[in-house]
A and B are shown apart, each in its own frame.
Chain A
Amino acid sequence: KPQVHTAFIRGVGANRIYAGQMAVLGRSSVGPIIQQMWNQEKDHLKKFSELMVAYRVRPTVLLPFWNVAGFVLGAGSALLGKKGAMACTVAVEESISEHYNNQIRTLVEEDPEIYKELLQVIKQFRDDEREHHDIGIEHDAEATPAYSVLKTAIQLGCKAAIFLSERI
């Protein structure tokens, strides 16, 4: 299922972004919060990896690139300061939540019964991501200079990455 693959790539990306942010801001005041969000992402990623194996999905060839790019994005946004890191988190989490919502809608349309367990998992993850998003907002993400520009740029980048991953 291509959806499992997309979710997996997003998980990998989020994981690497938090890793990057921790590398820069790990010892700052927001460190523990980022660490907590990162731990949740690691759990999500583990679940997606299991699904990838269960459905025998081929991971994209571009995976090593996304590993590096995610880290760079996380570190880069963190270098812009705590607010920058939070802005990046908000942008990414927003697009992830949207993606989960779409998936939930698709699965419910197709057959809620068959996918009950999967739906539960995705709903849980979506709530987690929304929580991350709200944490980001709480921490003054919106006060970042050029917030909307940054957010749009990051979301476009994510969309492009997913687009390529689905094809290669």
Chain B
Amino acid sequence: MAAAGGLRRGRLWRGARVRCQHCPPLRALQASTVLRRVSDEHKKEPFTSSSQQHFDSPPAGHQPEQEPQGPRPSYTGQGGQESEDYESEEQLQHRILTAALEFVPEHGWTAEAIAEGAKTLGLSVAAAGMFHSDGSELILHFVSECNAKLSKQLEKEQKLVQLGEAEKKPIDEFLRDAVEARLRMLIPYIEKWPQALSILLLPRNIPSGLTLLTSMIDDIWHYAGDQSTDFNWYTRRAVLTGIYNTTELVMMQDSSPDFEDTWRFLENRVADAMTMSNTASQVQSTGEAVVQGLMGAAVTIKNLAGLNQRR
């Protein structure tokens, strides 16, 4: 079951992958929904029976849903009639997950949190059956929400700079601030975040998690003003990903007031990266100078030896 789910995930990830990175962070979830709509598969998942119990509050005629990543039976019997104000499935899931976040500090990233969230929306707790029992969707939802918030913030800051109301930050400061802003969003959930990280490492979740991470890093570099179109594009993103991941891990074990140690660690890592790039360009220019020196020496020797005569 998990393997089939994994295969399907692989397919959906490849299908959703486009060259342009400037896509909404919810791409992974939305893509899975789109692919599910066009999929012909009609396999039944085991916990269909539990989620089929009752669904009082959602609009009449709404079939109980299965997990977003799995296949689902087609909407038959209702004749495809859907009222105008019928919210789509993603929107409903979105609302439930957002409501569930409030309960995460207490219940962790679990079906209980989702059930509580569903209750606050006036839905039955069976709504939690829509999702995996390990809270994967909740975590992915949270991550993509954080990324969206970060993008908006960076965009706002960029507008301020364009309007001339703010100074353009030097790159290291910009990167530091962006990573700090993003990591600060974890603070309310920091107790349960290690659990979330381990769930994100499940093979099933790795594609989506990775996509969210790469698009966030791409966003940060875009707003930092990265204009590279050569291999630098890759090295910069790789370096920033490393900085982000290590800082995140440090934050998990940080007990200093307001995570000062983490921010200091971040500052050092960013400084390291800057030095590294400076060193790299220094090495390159030194290398070029050395080569030119050697060529000059070779020509001189040729001249001395009389080998350079024009014929």
- Residue among A58, A61, A64 with most chain B CB within 10 A: A58
Question: Which chain A residues in 29-81 approach chain B with CB under 8 Å?
Answer: 49, 52-53, 55-59, 61, 63-64
A57 surroundings in chain B (CB, below 8 A): 19-21
How far in angstroms is the closest Cβ of chain B from A130?
Answer: 25
Cα distance A5–B22 when bound, in Å?
14
* A2 interface residue (CB < 8 Å to B): yes
* B91 interface residue (CB < 8 Å to A): no
Given contacts A56-B218, A56-B222, contact A63 B19 (CB under 8 A): no
Whether A8 and B229, one on each chain, are in contact in the complex, defined by CB atoms closer than 8 angstroms, is yes
Whether A58 and B230, one on each chain, are in contact in the complex, defined by CB atoms closer than 8 angstroms, is no
Cα distance A49–B21 when bound, in Å?
16
How far in angstroms is the closest Cβ of chain A from B217?
Answer: 12
* A1 interface residue (CB < 8 Å to B): yes
B227 surroundings in chain A (CB, below 8 A): 49, 53
Cα distance A151–B281 when bound, in Å?
39
Interface size for B (C-beta < 8 A) is 13
Whether B229 and A49, one on each chain, are in contact in the complex, defined by CB atoms closer than 8 angstroms, is yes
Smallest Cβ-Cβ distance to A8: which chain B residue: B229
Interface size for A (C-beta < 8 A) is 15
**Which of B18, B22, B218, B230 meets A59, CB within 8 Å?**
B230
Given contacts A52-B229, A56-B218, contact A2 B234 (CB under 8 A): no
* B75 interface residue (CB < 8 Å to A): no
Smallest Cβ-Cβ distance to B234: which chain A residue: A61
How far in angstroms is the closest Cβ of chain B from A58?
Answer: 6
Whether B233 and A1, one on each chain, are in contact in the complex, defined by CB atoms closer than 8 angstroms, is no
Cα distance A43–B89 when bound, in Å?
49
How far in angstroms is the closest Cβ of chain B from A51?
Answer: 10
Smallest Cβ-Cβ distance to A48: which chain B residue: B229
A59 surroundings in chain B (CB, below 8 A): 229-231, 233
How far in angstroms is the closest Cβ of chain B from A62?
Answer: 10
Whether B22 and A63, one on each chain, are in contact in the complex, defined by CB atoms closer than 8 angstroms, is no
- Interface code B10-39, partner A: CB below 8 Å = 1, 0 otherwise? 000000001111100000000000000000
Given contacts A8-B229, A49-B229, contact A56 B22 (CB under 8 A): yes
B218 surroundings in chain A (CB, below 8 A): 56, 58
